[in-house]
Structure 1
């Protein structure tokens, strides 16, 4: 698969993540604190909930890589953590997990 097609599909999945987070009313207007954003713990699990990590870390970083023409990550495996984290937030998980699974598959 060409990088251009891969990038288009990745952008579509990022937009789907944003749409689903907005539908569930967890897309926030203001970012977490600078300290929360600076976390070095995987998924920033010590400073924010998973939906915040998706919004403020994952989506912007993948978009930045695509916009700069960089190589997309290989071997994404965020679904396993999402399966644990999303129910804790009491979110509707099914659609979001499907989108995340599609992203993981696209990156493998």
Structure 2
């Protein structure tokens, strides 16, 4: 499973870059310290994916620690990107695949 998740994370990074949602500068420490899910009060979703989600999952993979089994990023992503669905459909599809891979759903 770790190979599948690793490949999906690489695809997520590529898709964020292709959609021009990748940032060259990281958020400040205060923004990263949010205690709300997805740092929704301080980060845009694409920032959270880039600076929290991807690094955390890659760290878990590299250190061979258990991956989270309860992941549900897709509903939030669908809400955030609802007005851009036609352009960001591939990104949402990829997020759905990551959710399914982590939760073990087919």
Q: Which runs of 5+ in 2 are unaligned?
A: none
Residues of 1 paired with 2:26 and 2:82: CA distance?
A: 22
* SS across alignment from 1:13: helix
CA offsets, 1:47-74, max 9 Å, x none? 0110000000000000000001100110
Aligned pairs for 1:6-17 within 5 A: 6-17=1-12
Q: 2:22 matched to which residue of 1?
A: 27
2:63 aligned with 1:68 = yes
CA offsets, 1:15-42, max 9 Å, x none? 1111011001121111001100111110
Please give the TM-score of this superposition, normalised by the length of structure 2.
Answer: 0.90
**RMSD, aligned α-carbons:** 1.3
Q: 1:3 matched to which residue of 2?
A: none
Matched length? 102
Q: Which runs of 5+ in 1 are unaligned?
A: 1-5
* SS across alignment from 1:93: helix
Residues of 2 paired with 1:27 and 1:87: CA distance?
A: 19
2:47 aligned with 1:52 = yes
Question: Does structure 2 retain, via aligned residues, the 8 Å contact 1:79–1:97?
Answer: yes
Q: 1:107 aligns with which of 96, 102, 106?
A: 102
2:89 aligned with 1:94 = yes
- Structure 1 outlier segments of 4+, above 3 Å: none
